[in-house]
Amino acid sequence: MTGVLLAALIGAEAAPPIDLRALERGRVLAAAQAYLEEPPVTVTASSSPRSSGGRHDFFSEGDYWWPNPSDPGGPYIRRDGRSNPENFVGHRQALMRLSRIVPALAAAWVLTGEAGYSRHVAGHLRAWFLDEGTRMAPHLRYAQAIHGVSKGRGIGIIDTIHLVEVARALEVLEPAPGLSKAERDGVVRWFGEYLRWMTTDPNGIEEREARNNHGTCWVMQVAAFARLTGNEDLLAFGRDRFKTVLVPGQMAEDGSFPLETARTKPYSYSLFNLDAMATAAFLLSTPDDDLWRFETKNGRGLRRAVAWIFPFIRDRKAWPFAPDVTYDDQWPMRHPSLLFAGLAFGDRGYLDLWKTLPADSTVDEVVRNFFVRQPVLWVPAGARARRPTSNRLRARPGAPSRPRSRRGSTAGSARRR
């Protein structure tokens, strides 16, 4: 972890450390040992006849789109919150697989220094980003297509949130054996090309302007890939957008996310958006521009957002909105927002709760929406929480104990995830 990133997260006046290495060692090494047997599987291993792209082009289909019973061969129709199991997910599953394997092996290298782990990572990185026969093209033109409606949408850029921890692993692995300098430069160049596409292509601009979790995930991805490629202009852009668009545009005064609580899966979407916002803040913060301590004039900021949702992570039954229509019993997980906030704000309650939550899941829906799985890649050995600067904020009286709608409205949400 770079000095700038560490300094932004962890203050000089430190509370007792959180021993992540001891906590994570057994879990990480068990997974890494299994992954040493796994060969690379890229987008070229599967295909769909509905894709408008070629062999190297990532393709996925919008989750909530289904055949129309009154017009079976016609355009699909939307059923918010309910994923169509017949949609093509081969490329997304391959990408999620990469996002589990590479960070776990990188974390094992961090914990042990054993070269076998980093060398196996190198094979996956070559296959995905360098090998002309198997590499993925650095764009998402055909992501989250809708049969009979769209060949690919800006909304599909959310599929590459699973490259965020891959990029982090690549940063951490820079001194490790495995990739040559020329190969590493080639992988970084791929991320630079993808970053350029997602910040200039109309699909990328559309996703940037999304007002809900999609806009948050666009900033988070830009932050991760700009850090890896050393793009200071885009890092500065991300910091500005965090302060001028994400927080004031998405967060209510009490710290909740109204566009997420209005969905048919309000709990998981709220957690997902906060995790993405917290990860973006972690990646973008500097000692001179600490996004963890940024607040609007009316007090909106990450401190308030984490304080709002914390009681509902601690006690799932206290959630004041409707339950998620699917997978409601699969949350919460060991959310990075709790870990990062616990360190940033010196809140041992956040850290203690984080340690008790599930770190892994075998449920595809959870894997798809949980993108920071290896904390030892993010927080160095001996990291200490800042001493608290104030008591944890409490939810404002009466908010949101009586939400306006127990179900929320799905009107106008057709372009949301």
Q: Scan for tokens 């951490």, then name that residue.
A: 172
- Determine whether domain 3-386 maps to CATH 1.50.10.100: yes
Positive or negative torsion for Cα 226, 230, 236, 239: positive
Check residue 412 and give its pLDDT: 34
Check residue 272 and give its pLDDT: 98
| pLDDT digits (tens), the chain, 417 positions | 443 454 445 443 344 468 899 999 999 999 999 999 999 999 999 999 999 999 999 999 988 899 999 998 889 999 988 888 889 999 999 999 999 999 999 999 999 999 999 999 999 999 999 999 999 999 999 999 999 999 999 999 999 999 999 999 999 999 999 999 999 999 999 999 999 999 999 999 999 999 999 999 999 999 999 999 999 999 999 999 999 999 999 999 999 999 999 999 999 999 999 999 999 999 999 999 999 999 999 999 999 999 999 999 999 999 999 999 999 999 999 999 999 999 999 999 999 999 999 999 999 999 999 999 999 999 976 555 555 544 444 333 333 333 433 333 333 333 344
Q: Are 357 and 335 in contact (CB under 8 A)?
A: yes
Check residue 12 and give its pLDDT: 35
Q: Rounded to an integer, what distance in angstroms lies between the CA atom of residue 363 and that of residue 133?
A: 31
Q: Rounded to an integer, what distance in angstroms lies between the CA atom of residue 9 and that of residue 41?
A: 35
Q: Rounded to an integer, what distance in angstroms lies between the CA atom of residue 123 and that of residue 45?
A: 16
Report the phi/psi class of residue 230: left, alpha or beta, with left for phi > 0 and alpha for psi in -120 to 50. left
- Name the DSSP letter for residue 66: E
Task: Give the pairing of strands 142-145 and 59-61.
Answer: parallel
